[in-house]
Amino acid sequence: MRTPLFISVFSAAAVACFAGPAFTVDAGKSAGQVSPLFAGLMTEEINHSYDGGLYAELVQNRAFLDNDKSPAHWSAVSDENSAARIALDFTNVFNDKLTASLRVEVAKADKKNPAGVANDGYWGIPVQPNTKYAPTILARADEKFSGPLTVAIVSDDGKTIFASEKISGLATGWKQFSVTLKTGKVQPTSHARLVILLDQPGTIWLGMVSLFPPTWGNQPNGFRKDLMQMMVDMKPNFLRFPGGNYVEGDTVETRFEWKNTIGPIEQRHGHPCPWGYRSSDGLGLLEFLRWCEDMNAEPLLAVYAGYSLKGVRVKAGPDLEPFVQDALDEIEYITGDTSTKWGAQRAKDGHPAPFKLRYVEIGNEDWFDKEFTYDARYTQFYDAIKAKHPQLKLISTIGYDQPEKNRVHSRKPDMMDEHYYQSTDEFARKSPGYAKDYDRNGPEVFVGEWAAHEFSPPRPWEEGSKKFAPTPSLKAAIGDALFMSAMERNSDLIKMQCYAPLFVNVNPGARQWRPDLIGYDAISAYGSPSYYAIKMFNENLGDEILSATPAATPVQGSATRDSGTGDVFIKLINPQATDETVTLEITGAKSLAGAAEMTTLSGSPEDTNSLNRPRNIVPVMTTLRGIKPRLTLTLPANSFVILKLATRS
Ligand code: AHR
């Protein structure tokens, strides 16, 4: 990767200059407040974000509900001296939520030649050295078999046993079994499976098989540690959940029905998600809230608003009432004390303390509803929620990016959500004028989904995008930086913003959308150049907007200040294929330190990160010396540069 001209890895010198039009930053006065909630994350179940992603469960199809024709991801295990067969069973089931079980019939086996069943995980079971894994198994047996069972993590070829334990005490009634599997000094691999084996003939039924590695904060039913760390490092202020399309579902029946996602995991049936696979609902409402808590971020809750993706709409009025009540119950679950019905349920689920909630979004992208029923639906939710929770700010999903006539008019939304998936060139054109003409007395603005893609076509949702890498290259990160600086210049009004989608499992067949911010497989993860661009922004946010006037060059940017420390943050983006020398003028600062911290993300447009080269494109920090109120700086081609200057005004 390249660093700006005039600098060495350790220091750099700026050049005093008195000619040419300047990129001017007025450090003398604040031009508005940067919203304290400006930087957030957006999430939904897409690209195996939760199952096979953040949710640390390692067994795919743990409840045998993913496919009602065959036990997907499960296979019989036997050798030439043993025999086993497996089948779905819809009669012998654990309860009315786990409506299938796996019947494992072993006709021939002995201690040397055990037989049974294996699960291949989410593109492998990740094995780490000296690590404890926690399997939980719901099982019963026929009257002739009482165990023991062997539970083990083994290599794909069955030759290496990474960890193994025995389970005994099987009976004809359902029982839950938990053991600890501990690995020794092994090489990390994801070429492994979970097996459950019998060493004598017999028939057993499995109602659910779960396997967790160590989780973030050792939370039961918890999150993958590496992905949590990457998000915490981004310093997000809020988390928008659970969608996106995921909140809507393809149909009313397959919406995100939060009441089905709480309580013990064996009480969660799961549901088909609109991205073509089934969600276990293991990551449910309380897990979303814990996720916020773990990141020290606020929840931004999206509630189902009566519109689903296949064009189904619930008519405003009595038909919509149950959905409004459902949203009120959900808000009570999140914020109610334990004297309330749903607050008490949350306490029973393990979290007595209420969560802070300030923003609720009514639906998702309701401009897709070409019968224009959103105004009436929003109004019904608005009136009911405001009557009980007047302090909550209610977000309309139709914003300034949609024609005026399609927006909500019956009530004044507290906030409007805009979505932008655009190419870097489109963002370069859009950003200079973005939000300039928005009504400063109108609703606040939330940019609830945005991301730059490198070229157009293909758009992220188009078939053609499948031939590109799942995560973006530097070219897209430059587009992201251009748009972020536009939002930051307007962050008196753009109160919150979040990139989407956040996650992608990069295994073949796992994704539905590109580009995505963070990529992973079963065992490792990496941040895209866009991840680092956002992280750079969030680490240098400040709380006051400074007026920044660009010179007539392709370089765009923004500036802010931290009112506590006096530090000024100047963000400059050069989207061109050639270096660009800019004159930078800083006015209004009583004092300016002679050296600045400079962080640079640059390279060739096609440069990117991947599982194999996770840190190919990362920010480089240097010191820029010779800072003067007016100086020249040469920005490398395709670069995003942040200067952090110590000042007093
Ligand atoms: O981020 C992917 C999808 O894009 C979201 O689910 C939806 O809201 C938007 O159309």
Q: State in Å: Cα 368 to ligand 1 middle.
A: 12
Which of 513, 514, 517, 518 is the pocket-test mutation for ligand 1 (most atoms within 8 Å of CB)? Answer: 513
Render pLDDT for 454-483 as a digit per residue (tens, 0 to 9): 999 999 999 999 999 999 999 999 999 999
How far is residue 148 from each of residues 169, 202, 326, 642, measured CA to CA in Å?
Answer: 7, 11, 46, 62
Question: Domain segments of the chain: what residues?
Answer: 12-36+542-648, 41-57+216-539, 74-212
* Residue 13, pLDDT score: 53
Residue whose Cα lies nearest atom 5 of ligand 1: it is 244
Render pLDDT for 416-453 as a digit per residue (tens, 0 to 9): 999 999 999 999 999 999 999 999 999 999 999 999 99
The stretch 10-27 carries a mean pLDDT of: 67
Residue 106 structure tokens: 């072993």
| Alpha carbon distance, N-terminus to C-terminus of the chain | 36
Give the Cα separation of 103 and 118 in Å (integer): 13
Q: Which is the closest atom of ligand 1 to the Cα of 44? A: 6
Q: Is 638 in contact with 26 (CB distance < 8 Å)?
A: no
Non-local (6+) Cβ contacts of 277 within 8 A are 48, 51, 66
Which of 401, 449, 453 is the pocket-test mutation for ligand 1 (most atoms within 8 Å of CB)? Answer: 449
The stretch 88-113 carries a mean pLDDT of: 98
Helical spans, DSSP H, in 73-151 = none
* Residue 59, pLDDT score: 99
The stretch 556-577 carries a mean pLDDT of: 97
Q: Would the pLDDT of 12 be above 90?
A: no
Residue whose Cα lies nearest atom 9 of ligand 1: it is 244
Q: Which is the closest atom of ligand 1 to the Cα of 451? A: 1
Render pLDDT for 332-351 as a digit per residue (tens, 0 to 9): 999 999 999 999 999 999 99
Q: State in Å: Cα 634 to ligand 1 middle.
A: 38
* Residue 3, pLDDT score: 41
Q: State in Å: Cα 231 to ligand 1 middle.
A: 20
Fold match between domain 41-57+216-539 and domain 74-212: no
Q: What's the CATH class of domain 74-212?
A: mainly beta
Provide the pLDDT confidence category of residue 7 given band limits of 50, 70 and 90.
very low
Q: Would the pLDDT of 609 be above 50?
A: yes
* Residue 17, pLDDT score: 47
The stretch 589-611 carries a mean pLDDT of: 96
Site residues for ligand 1, CB cut-off 6 Å = 44, 46, 243-245, 364-365, 449, 500-501, 513
Render pLDDT for 109-118 as a digit per residue (tens, 0 to 9): 999 999 999 9
Q: Would the pLDDT of 9 be above 60?
A: no
Q: Would the pLDDT of 99 be above 80?
A: yes
Question: Beta strand pairing status for 149-155 and 238-241?
Answer: unpaired
* Residue 19, pLDDT score: 52
Q: Which is the closest atom of ligand 1 to the Cα of 42? A: 1
Provide the pLDDT confidence category of residue 11 given band limits of 50, 70 and 90.
very low
Q: Which is the closest atom of ligand 1 to the Cα of 245? A: 6
52 phi-psi bin (left φ>0, alpha ψ -120 to 50, beta other): left
The owner of tokens 């006539």 is 405
Q: Would the pLDDT of 603 be above 90?
A: yes
Render pLDDT for 165-207 as a digit per residue (tens, 0 to 9): 999 999 999 999 999 999 999 999 999 999 999 999 999 999 9
The length of the chain is 649
Give the Cα separation of 467 and 514 in Å (integer): 10
Mean pLDDT of the chain: 95
Render pLDDT for 219-273 as a digit per residue (tens, 0 to 9): 999 999 999 999 999 999 999 999 999 999 999 999 999 999 999 999 999 999 9
Q: State in Å: Cα 170 to ligand 1 middle.
A: 46
- The percentage of the chain sitting over the pLDDT mark of 70, rounded to a whole number, equals 97
Give the Cα separation of 632 and 634 in Å (integer): 7
The stretch 139-163 carries a mean pLDDT of: 96
Residue 266's φ and ψ, nearest 5 degrees, are -75, 0
Q: Would the pLDDT of 306 be above 60?
A: yes
The stretch 371-396 carries a mean pLDDT of: 98
Render pLDDT for 349-360 as a digit per residue (tens, 0 to 9): 999 999 999 999
* Residue 21, pLDDT score: 74
Render pLDDT for 40-95 as a digit per residue (tens, 0 to 9): 999 999 999 999 999 999 999 999 999 999 999 999 999 999 999 999 999 999 99
Give the Cα separation of 220 and 129 in Å (integer): 21
Longest dimension (CA), the chain: 93
- CATH of 12-36+542-648, picked from 2.60.40.1180, 3.90.190.10, 2.60.120.10, 2.40.10.10, is 2.60.40.1180
Residue 286 or residue 13, greater confidence: 286
Q: Would the pLDDT of 504 be above 60?
A: yes
Q: Would the pLDDT of 6 be above 60?
A: no
- pTM attached to this predicted model: 0.97
Give the Cα separation of 346 and 563 in Å (integer): 39
- CATH of 41-57+216-539, picked from 1.10.3720.10, 3.50.50.60, 3.20.20.80, 3.40.50.2300, is 3.20.20.80
Q: Which is the closest atom of ligand 1 to the Cα of 419? A: 9
Residue 531 structure tokens: 């991840």
Q: Which is the closest atom of ligand 1 to the Cα of 448? A: 8
